[in-house]
Amino acid sequence: MPSAAAAAVQHQLPGGSQQPVAAAAPQSATADPEKRRLIQQQLVLLLHAHKCQRREQGVPTPGGNPGQPAAQSTCVLPHCQTMKNVLKHMSECHKGKACKGEF
């Protein structure tokens, strides 16, 4: 079974058909196994932060589990709050390429 990282990215087309989409990263960026592992770790942490943020807001989660406001105000996972700050910045920043990432 192929790993999630090795699976082809699919783009949903009108009418329900799917079209493979090329990965955004150049081949050389993912050729180094250590660099690939670090990128995967950051993406997993970013996904966790997104889910954690939605859980704290009481937003229902996919799969039928209703969102519950968190009993504790902050997540204990290292760097979760940092990634929540990144998510917030991404949704609010309108500087594009001129952004210096100061959040």
Q: What is the pTM of this model?
A: 0.57
- Name residue 18's beta-bridge partners: 12
What is the band of 25 on the pLDDT scale with cuts at 50, 70, 90? low
What is the band of 4 on the pLDDT scale with cuts at 50, 70, 90? very low
pLDDT at 66 over 70: no
Measured between alpha carbons, how far is 49 from 98 in angstroms, rounded to an integer? 25
Q: Tell me the mean pLDDT in the region 81-99.
A: 92
Residues in the chain: 103
pLDDT of residue 60: 74
Q: Supply the mean pLDDT for the chain.
A: 73
Question: What is the largest distance, in Å, between two alpha-carbon atoms of the chain?
Answer: 44
Identity of the residue numbered 95: K
- Name residue 9's beta-bridge partners: 21
Measured between alpha carbons, how far is 2 from 56 in angstroms, rounded to an integer? 33
